[in-house]
Amino acid sequence: MRLFVRLLKNANPKIEYYSRFSPSPLSIKQFLDFGRENACEKTSYMFLRKELPVRLANTMREVNLLPDKLLGQPSVRLVQKWYMQSFVELLDFENRKPEDPHTLNDFLEILIDIRNRHNDVVPTMAQGVIEYKEKFGFDPFISSNIQYFLDRFYTNRISFRMLINQHTLLFGNDTNPAHPKHIGSIDPNCNVAEVVSDAYDTAKMLCEKYYLAAPELKIEEFNMKAQKKPIQAVYVPSHLFHMLFELFKNSMRATVELYENSNEGLPPVKARVTLGKEDLSIKISDKGGGVPLRKIDRLFNYMYSTAPTPSLEPGAVPLAGFGYGLPISRLYARYFQGDLKLYSMEGVGTDAVIYLKALSSESFERLPVFNKSAWRHYKTTPEADDWSNPSREPRDASKSTYKANR
């Protein structure tokens, strides 16, 4: 703890300095062009040694706007310590010349260390929110601020890892021999249906482990640009896999639990992949009973989960966990200007649609910026709702004493 306080004191002026800069969003095309045509390690180093501290400083300034009671939780303090340590390590390269024979290799090793240090940021921060909720309960205003912050915090983390992965894959020994044509973490010819199948197979294996059964998959493709040809995209397969895996887990869990005592067998999960002029869309449809409309927004709320809180045992992969699967999957979709939406019919099932940009030149990073607008979001007190507000649970009309005047 003393080391953290000392680091914080020494680094605070630098955090304030770097947070004055806005992050520089890149498009998938820019990532691709740099890695394919003029991948220069010195150029990447010169960009990252400033851009990474900028992105870290923006989120580190913003985390301090959270309630003190949340910041005081052990898990949240641990995450802050990781970020501070990474920021301080990056500052060591502030004035180091790329011509120094050791600089580029040292930088590469530090990036790998930082990436490994941040591996458990999502579950650790989730644990911090749980600690806070258990001690202090649920407050709608604070919950709204936590939702706003975590969307931005996790988006920043996705972008941070994207930059690190591109550098280490292009200039380190991280190259995956199974994907020699990838440019860093980007597949210039990502076969979308194959990623859909891979995500389904992984979720199916997990579902069968827990329930001893899993629904089958049916895939359809509609390629408006080149009919009857497989749909390909310039994208990050690991991001797409993450989104699809979460959607398949949810669909399988809902389907198996609804039909577990039925003799009809499990209805299949359907995937439809379409490519238009602007959008590449993937729809996952199930007949798992659906979700009431009033609960849809909750599914994207970090303070809400339909499943029991999972064990934090290392290596455990729960079929349903902290309730972070959907909100973080939506962040992955939005990161390159796409989106993820749910359309549900209670009593029937749910359609989940992933929207991605069809053109890599339009797939720019969507990054949070620490500024006065963000600051005001945390400081503005909630105002009275200007719409009528019924009770949270549906009213039982049969017990009502109200009688209409005739």
Catalytically annotated residue among 182, 204, 239, 242:
242
Asked if 357 and 337 touch (Cβ cutoff 8 Å), the reply is yes
DSSP state of 225: S
Distance CA 206, CA 279 (A): 31
Residue 69: how many CB atoms within 10 A of its CB?
13
Catalytically annotated residue among 246, 287, 357, 365:
246
Asked if 358 and 276 touch (Cβ cutoff 8 Å), the reply is yes
Given 3-state DSSP classes, what are the helix, strand and coil percentages for the chain, each rounded to the nearest 5? 50, 10, 35
Catalytically annotated residue among 118, 182, 204, 249:
249
Distance CA 82, CA 121 (A): 9
Residue 249 among the catalytic residues: yes
DSSP state of 102: T
Residue 250 among the catalytic residues: yes
Residue 102 among the catalytic residues: no
| Closest C-alpha among 164, 245, 166, 178 to residue 207 | 245
Secondary structure class of 403 (helix, strand, coil): coil
Return the H-helix or E-strand segment holding 183: none
Strand partners, 138: none
Structure tokens at 32: 């691709």
Distance CA 45, CA 184 (A): 15
Strand partners, 235: 187
Catalytically annotated residue among 156, 250, 283, 287:
250
Residue 167 among the catalytic residues: no
Catalytic residues: 242, 246, 249-250
